[in-house]
Structure 1
Amino acid sequence: MQAATGFLMGTALLCLPAQAAQPRIVEVPNGPAFVKFSGKTEVDARSGQLLRTDALLRTTKPGRMQVMLGTGRQFRMGGDAQLRLGSSSVELLKGSIIGWINPGTQTRHPFTIKTRLATASIQGTTVFIEFTDSQFKIFSWEGKVLVTTRSGQRFTLNSGQQLLLDLKRVEPDDRVQQDDPLAVSWATPVVIAEQEVERRLQKSRLINGFSIPLDTLPEIERELGVMAPSP
């Protein structure tokens, strides 16, 4: 009877949904980098620091950091960047980010990176997003990136493709800050030349300069036929 009871309890535990781990900062190779929890004072970010949903992360040049969400999805942010953590997504308020899902990860839900202009969804993909006062850029380092704009347009980026919005060409009366998504005219994605892709890979401070190489770097090199600099 005790054996049967133990078996049933074990089976029941196996049927329970797995609990997501607590998000944490993996590495801060350069400061300044900061963390702010709701109702608390902003503090310096540090490697290994545990985070919570709704935490506000910020870097200023030359600051950089890598973060792992509770779902295992990861991202690196840097420069003059600011973002807010969600449970399985992030909201980029400004700056640059690379987000990815480790190769071979079994997941039914995409990793989404939101901005006030568009949302990028990835699943087994590596995406770069840059959001400044002058431009909004989404680039697929490898795999498919699904982009949905606030006006309802949808784009699919494949490896080496970029979606670019020149915010300097938006008329002053139609600035996106006025919450008018229809004021933005999106161009179709374009393929970036191999020489430019290689230059970006060589120069990227979100790909290079961390103690551990990007998990998807072999896929990027294979997909685009370029090589990252040796550490």
Structure 2
Amino acid sequence: MIQISSNMDGLKIILLFAILISFSSATTVVDFCVADLSFPGGPAGYPCRNPSNLTVDDFVFSGLGVAGNTENIFNSSAFLAIDTTFPALNGLGLSMARLDLGVGGVIPIHSHRVSEVILVIEGTIIAGFIGSDNTPYYKTLKKGDIMIFPHTLLHFQVNIGKTPALAFVSLNSASPGFQTTTIALAANDLPTDVIQKITLLDATQVRKLKTIFGGTNL
């Protein structure tokens, strides 16, 4: 009986390895998964379009070659190549964005679910992030410089030069998320008095921000 039990345990282990191998092999069967945006996305991304209906154009994105509109309160633009704008990124764990900053322009303090690398193409900017212990890490970056922003940490970019600045960023997710602190507070119906309490801003400033970003409950 002991021998039979031992053999059964061995068979169970072999079966478990076989299952694990089959799962790992399944992930390499598909070369790509261009998102079918007619279905809702989930934590694992979007369902795949039928490969037989794809062409090379599905794997090319030209949107980052055009300067963004910086005529806004931040004097900046962020144009994203993510799964919803470039469906071929679906499931590949990466995305990109183009940042245009006019003179004095800023990409306001914000965060992502994932890490980011910035590459300065033109201009001079201050870029930085704030650690979870509230230590700031910031530096003046010029053409050719890169900097990393660790995942979930608040970070920013400011054009301190006398000419417009251009940078490209890469993020390690096709759906990195983007939450700007000021907009997250002011562009909704969170009551003004609550925002006062959690930020120490005065009511006048809170109402001003709500007016700018379309918030209610003034």
TM norm structure 2 = 0.31
TM norm structure 1 = 0.30
Relative contact order: is structure 1 or structure 2 higher (C-alpha 8 Å, sep ≥ 6)?
A: 2
Higher strand share: 1
Structure number with greater Rg is 2
Higher helix share: 2
